């Protein structure tokens, strides 16, 4: 019997430099995708996967995330007085999504360091990691797909997708052997963070979804700076390979890199088009553009 995945860690202490100037005083994780901040999509995905405890790794200038998931008595009273029942329900439901704990990363030293900040709260159990700027649109939520695989393997699992050409240099890259019984699963034999395209062992990129065993924390504590001088989660997972099996998992769905300006614009159009209320007028307006 594998332990259930109850806790999900959200590294959200980065500086969001690709999205300046918007992210100078607004957390990237709070940028809206249609009408919900990016991080809310991730938290809802974790809850849909069965997680009951959300751990957000935060930093200076990021307190709006805490307000977003908290009660807002003035807003609730105003919505109640105005008879806006549906909006009131939405606001209250948001504060009851899950138990949310915040932990600070004093300096943005890298993704691996951000995950290490959650060590005490995670404790000795396997846990999920969701990067809130990677939005995965899927029939079965991406983390739920991964939790189901974890229940069968009990090993760390890295969400993965094949990327084209030189794009691999922006990702952690997996070398892996396919598994006979499941074409979506492969056994990882090596990992490289942000490889030069000619040196990449494959085109399999790690996306912002992980299930990690608690053994990762020892590897994170022993980590030396890697690509870009940052403490890289990929390097810690490579160290974990010495003592545990790690699997790559090709999720079913469409991912949007909403931490990048173009990816963010595309995600807003696609999510807007899917909405019952906004889709038809948005589609009609897009058709009038002389592209
Ligand atoms: P990114 O590299 O996408 O975020 O990290 P970033 O560093 O904020 O953005 P850019 O590249 O400068 O534009 C993925 C996730 O990891 C978090 C980020 O907040 C983001 O959600 N992160 C990154 C941390 O929490 N701490 C860090 O030291 C680095």
DSSP conformation class of 252: S
259 within ligand 1 shell (Cβ under 6 A): yes
Residue 124 domain flag:
yes
Give the pair of three-digit tokens for residue 219.
């590897």
Our answer on whether the CB atom of 42 is closer than 6 Å to any ligand 1 atom is no
| CA-closest residue to ligand 1 atom 16 | 11
Q: Is residue 192 part of a domain?
A: yes
Tell me if the pTM is above 0.85: yes
Residue 111 domain-assigned?
A: yes
Domain-embedded: residue 2: no
Q: Measuring from atom 14 of ligand 1, which residue has the nearest CA?
A: 131
Residue 53: predicted pLDDT: 97
Identify whether the C-beta of residue 56 lies closer than 8 Å to the C-beta of residue 3: no
User: Quick check: CB of 257 below 6 Å from ligand 1?
Assistant: no
Count structural domains, the chain: 1
* 291 in a structural domain: no
Q: Note down pLDDT in tens along the chain; length 291 residues.
A: 789 999 999 999 999 999 999 999 999 999 999 999 999 999 999 999 999 999 999 998 899 999 999 999 999 999 999 999 999 999 999 999 999 999 999 999 999 999 999 999 999 999 999 999 999 999 999 999 999 999 999 999 999 999 999 999 999 999 999 887 888 999 999 999 999 999 999 999 999 999 999 999 999 999 999 999 999 999 999 999 999 999 999 999 999 999 999 999 999 999 999 999 999 999 999 999 988
Note whether residue 128 is domain-resident.
yes
- The verdict on the CB of residue 14 being under 6 Å from ligand 1 is yes
What DSSP string runs through 217-236?
HHHHHT----GGGS--HHHH
Distance 13 CA to ligand 1 centre (A): 6
For the Cβ of 104 lying below 6 angstroms from any atom of ligand 1, the answer is no
Q: Count the Cβ atoms, other than its own, within 10 Å of residue 228.
A: 9
Instruction: Output the CA 171–ligand 1 centroid distance in Å.
Output: 13
Ligand 1 atom closest to Cα of residue 27 = 19
d(CA 14, CA 159) in angstroms, rounded, equals 21
Distances (CA, A) of 191 to 123, 218, 232: 25, 18, 11
Specify the ligand 1 atom closest to the Cα of 58.
25
Distances (CA, A) of 82 to 35, 73, 242, 277: 21, 14, 60, 22
Q: Which residues pair with 130 in a beta bridge?
A: 209
Identify whether 214 is part of a domain: yes
State if residue 92 touches ligand 1 by the CB under 6 angstroms criterion.
no
CATH number at residue 244: 3.90.550.10
Distance 12 CA to ligand 1 centre (A): 7
Contacts of 113 (CB under 8 A, 6+ apart): 105, 220, 223, 230, 231
Q: Is the CB of 12 under 6 A from ligand 1?
A: yes
Task: Give a yes or no: residue 105 inside a domain.
Answer: yes
Tens of pLDDT, residue by residue over 127-175, are: 999 999 999 999 999 999 999 999 999 999 999 999 999 999 999 999 9
* Full domain range(s) for residue 226: 7-286
For residue 164, the CA-to-ligand 1 centroid distance in Å is 23
Return the pLDDT at 183. Answer: 87
| Cβ of residue 47 lying under 6 Å from some atom of ligand 1 | no
């Amino acid at each position: 019997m594998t332990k259930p995945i109850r806790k999900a860690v959200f590294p959200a202490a980065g500086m969001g430099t690709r999205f300046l100037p918007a992210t100078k005083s607004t957390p990237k994780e709070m940028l809206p995708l249609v009408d919900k901040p990016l991080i809310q999509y991730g938290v809802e995905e974790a809850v849909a996967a069965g997680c009951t405890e959300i751990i957000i790794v935060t930093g200076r200038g990021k307190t709006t995330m805490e307000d977003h998931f908290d009660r807002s008595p003035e807003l609730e009273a105003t919505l109640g007085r105005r008879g806006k029942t549906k909006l009131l329900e939405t606001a209250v439901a948001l504060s009851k999504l899950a138990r949310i704990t915040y932990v600070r990363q004093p300096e943005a030293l890298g993704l691996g360091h951000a995950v290490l900040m959650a060590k005490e709260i995670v404790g000795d159990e396997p846990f999920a990691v969701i990067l809130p700027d990677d939005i995965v649109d899927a029939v079965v939520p991406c983390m739920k797909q991964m939790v189901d695989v974890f229940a069968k393997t009990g090993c760390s699992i890295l969400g993965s997708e094949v990327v084209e050409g030189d794009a691999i240099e922006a990702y952690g890259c997996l070398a892996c052997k396919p598994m006979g019984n499941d074409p979506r699963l492969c056994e990882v034999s090596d990992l490289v963070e942000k490889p030069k395209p000619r040196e990449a062992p494959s085109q399999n990129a790690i996306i912002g979804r992980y299930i990690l065993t608690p053994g990762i924390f020892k590897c994170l504590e022993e980590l030396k700076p890697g690509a870009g001088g940052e403490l890289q989660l990929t390097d810690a997972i490579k160290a974990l390979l010495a003592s545990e099996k790690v699997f790559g998992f090709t999720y079913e769905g469409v991912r949007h890199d909403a931490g990048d300006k173009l990816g963010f614009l595309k995600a807003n159009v696609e999510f807007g088009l899917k909405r019952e209320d906004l889709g038809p007028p948005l589609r009609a307006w897009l058709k009038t553009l002389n592209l």
